[in-house]
Amino acid sequence: MPLKNTQIVSAAQTKFGSLDMSLREMFAEAVDKATVEAGVPKSEIQAAFVGTFIPEMLVHQGHTAPLLLDYAGLRGLPATRHEAACASGATALRAGIMAIESGFYDTVLVAGAEKMTSVTTNEATEALAAAADDQFESSVGLTFPGVFAIAAVAHMQKYGTTEEDMARVSVKAHKNASTNPLAQFQKEITLEKAMTPRYVAWPLKLFDCSPISDGAAALVLTSTEKAKQYTDDSVSVIGTGQASASMNLADRRELTSFEASVVASKNAYKMAGLSADDMDFAVVHDCFTIAEIIASEDIGFFEPGKGAEAVKEGVTALDGDRPINPMGGLKAVGHPVGATGVKQASVVYKEIIGAAGPNQIAKHDTGIMHNFGGTGASCVVNIFRRSDA
Amino acid sequence: MPLKNTQIVSAAQTKFGSLDMSLREMFAEAVDKATVEAGVPKSEIQAAFVGTFIPEMLVHQGHTAPLLLDYAGLRGLPATRHEAACASGATALRAGIMAIESGFYDTVLVAGAEKMTSVTTNEATEALAAAADDQFESSVGLTFPGVFAIAAVAHMQKYGTTEEDMARVSVKAHKNASTNPLAQFQKEITLEKAMTPRYVAWPLKLFDCSPISDGAAALVLTSTEKAKQYTDDSVSVIGTGQASASMNLADRRELTSFEASVVASKNAYKMAGLSADDMDFAVVHDCFTIAEIIASEDIGFFEPGKGAEAVKEGVTALDGDRPINPMGGLKAVGHPVGATGVKQASVVYKEIIGAAGPNQIAKHDTGIMHNFGGTGASCVVNIFRRSDA
């Protein structure tokens, strides 16, 4: 069934980075920006869908939805926390979409946040490992840099992808983020710097890895009828897809493509009645540089094995034919896990309405976002389009 | 808007208790019982909505939805974990309801599970405390027995409720559970035993507290059109409400009623076009005996302050005029947190279709379930009715 009714009328994020703010403070800031500061009174919000990944281990706090709502001045609303590891934000968004499409609500808040610098980097890595299969992966020492290193090696072996190819993704991310005031790293890097052999898990080096970040993001969804009340610049949600896969990498048929990404994007395209060729740009889940290359193939932007070449040729650059992660991606903007999927939606929204400033893409009517969790055991793909397109 | 389209076509739970099974094994058993063993082929399930509260701290595992689905033979489906502390199960159910009502899917799985005996009782109490406000409550030593003891004292002061009144809730729960083969405690207790002064947090004694439990529950929702394909005995979801409140008890206007329960039940009644008087029975969240008394008042079964009297007069007994927790409640059946809301729905379903065996209520066309999280910072209330009623 095609989606008919859901519009994004505002979207915002806090600065990402190591912030001197608590989880609840960041969340409240993002909500304020996406509501009152964007012309949507808080009194209009009827329900909230919240993405957080692992606040239990990072800030010793579960049951985050009512707590964060309260601090954002929205005490009392129906509010649930949605979790699918690094795809938590997009699963909250998808729940919000269903809430609008079902007719339950006219106006809802979707928000995500994570406070990660409250613990040491080792503790954060340990907490993130809860997204892998504890019985077969994390308990035997396989944490996420290692898991994605396995995927990188497989891609190198099968397609000849090189460390330099991956480093180029990082250079592009930092270039795009250099003009994004909300990015954790607003600094270009050279290919030589990206190739600095500070290995985290061979072949992945420091600059292949997204950072530990604090941050929050929020957006407001409304029914089409209601949208006009808030803005002439709304963005339609025209397709959404979600899929899962085995948690354990050992159970996958292949390591150079993530099945959940392929299925989720196929379903999103089908719902939208469009194909990858109809997308003007993409925002994909680049938790590691190899993840962006694989995602660009999995969502059909490039043939399997051709993602690295596209980066090399500048096709995915801000001024390329098929821009990917135009604001800087997880790599350079930061990756406060629960916020990421919501922030990705916010990037697509801003590009589509032409509010991306120095990061504005030339052709920006239709965009796709790809948010995945773990080593792709969860994936959500959404397609947005200018409402008057 | 009234709900028109969602039916429960099957529901099941594992035995609750200290089980020699892992989280994934229990989940798979509940799913098998609610699908293949109930005549719903797994191949018909299109998406899954999973409730778990705090597997991160109990079994060192996040990202539970795809993992559990895989072990239940449903690898690949769209699957999100929903968390709202002890209301996690019912928030997953509510998401499933929206998924059907929105037209996204015809047939979905809703399931919840928690493995709690993997840690010590102290560790479990610490993990459960993540449902309270870490900044103002849990970090200063206020865990859940203490929080509900505060509510009990307030109720005693305002309404004259006694320790014996609370003990009677426990006696009723154990009586009902004595004929429930899936209950953790299948043994009647005397009022004298319930009054044994083993205080956990005065005035709450050992028998006022629900236990630490392992267990899982699952149910299948379908559209009305699809339901006939599986059973002639489906149950309609006719109303649902959800609300939140401040996490911190200190921010509440009153302690003898939980505002989120009042709002969620009002919204559920409104959606169903019915009132409390139209309900034949209720399944409420009796994590502590005082919680059942307060819930019975909050959902409108009894006037504020009259809940204890109703228990004393046998009104809420299995053969009373307004039975509450006919299978034994959290107190005696057990409380594997993520499973609880789904198990509650399963109890209402079984009573309505007349499959509750020795625990069958005489008048059972319409039932209400009340599942809440934390000290009522989250609450979900659902109303179900015989499809041909």
- B contact residues 226-265, partner A, Cβ 8 Å cutoff: 241-247, 251, 259-260, 263-264
pLDDT bin (cut points 50, 70, 90) of residue B66 is very high
CB atoms A66 and B374 under 8 Å: yes
Token readout for B224 is 């009305």
Pair A208, A164: CB distance under 8 Å: no
What is the pLDDT, as a whole number, of residue B181?
Answer: 98
Backbone torsion region of residue A304, taken as left when φ is above 0, otherwise alpha when ψ lies between -120 and 50, otherwise beta: beta
Location of structure tokens 């990498």: A249
R_g (Cα) of chain A, nearest Å: 19
DSSP A144-163: HHHHHHHHHHHHHHHH---H
pLDDT bin (cut points 50, 70, 90) of residue A23 is very high
In Å, how far are A102, A143, A146 from A201, measured between CA atoms?
Answer: 45, 10, 6
Token readout for A286 is 């680049």
pTM: 0.98
DSSP conformational letter for B4: -
Is the previous residue joined to B336 through a cis bond, with omega within 30 degrees of 0?
A: no
Q: Tell me how far apart the alpha carbons of residues A299 and A375 are, in angstroms, rounded to a whole number.
A: 16
Pick from B12, B45, B49, B6: nearest CA to B223: B6
pLDDT tens for each residue of B348-389? 999 999 999 999 999 999 999 999 999 999 999 999 999 887
Location of structure tokens 């267990």: B215
On whether ipTM exceeds 0.90, the answer is yes
pLDDT bin (cut points 50, 70, 90) of residue B139 is confident
Token readout for B353 is 């279709």
The full set of domains in chain B, from first to last, is 6-120+212-235 (3.40.47.10), 153-209+238-386 (3.40.47.10)
* Residue B287 pLDDT greater than 90, yes or no: yes
pLDDT bin (cut points 50, 70, 90) of residue A1 is low
Pair B130, A63: CB distance under 8 Å: yes
Chain A residues lying within 8 Å of B45, measured CB to CB: none
Give me the residue from B56, B63, B132 closest to A56, CB to CB. Answer: B56
Interface contacts A/B by beta carbons within 8 Å:
202
Chain A residues lying within 8 Å of B99, measured CB to CB: 98, 102
Helix (H) or strand (E) holding A310: helix A307-312
Q: Tell me how far apart the alpha carbons of residues A187 and B95 are, in angstroms, rounded to a whole number.
A: 42
B58/A contact by beta carbon, under 8 A: no
Q: Tell me how far apart the alpha carbons of residues B264 and B105 are, in angstroms, rounded to a whole number.
A: 25
Which of B125, B135, B247 to mutate to probe the A interface, most A CBs <10 Å?
A: B247
Cβ neighbour number for residue B2 with a 10 Å cutoff: 9
A2/B contact by beta carbon, under 8 A: no
Catalytically active residues of A, by annotation? 86, 335
Backbone angles phi, psi at A157, to 5 degrees: -70, -40
Nearest-Cα residue of chain A relative to residue B70? A246
Which of B133, B147, B244 to mutate to probe the A interface, most A CBs <10 Å?
A: B244
Give strand pairing partners of A288.
A209
Token readout for A168 is 């180029």
Cα diameter, chain B: 55
Determine the average pLDDT of the residues in B246-261. Answer: 95
Pair B102, B6: CB distance under 8 Å: no
CB atoms A378 and B69 under 8 Å: no
CB atoms A63 and B69 under 8 Å: no
CB atoms A70 and B101 under 8 Å: no
Cβ neighbour number for residue B320 with a 10 Å cutoff: 18
Give me the residue from B64, B83, B99 closest to A98, CB to CB. Answer: B99
Cα torsion angle, A31, A32, A38, A40, sign: positive
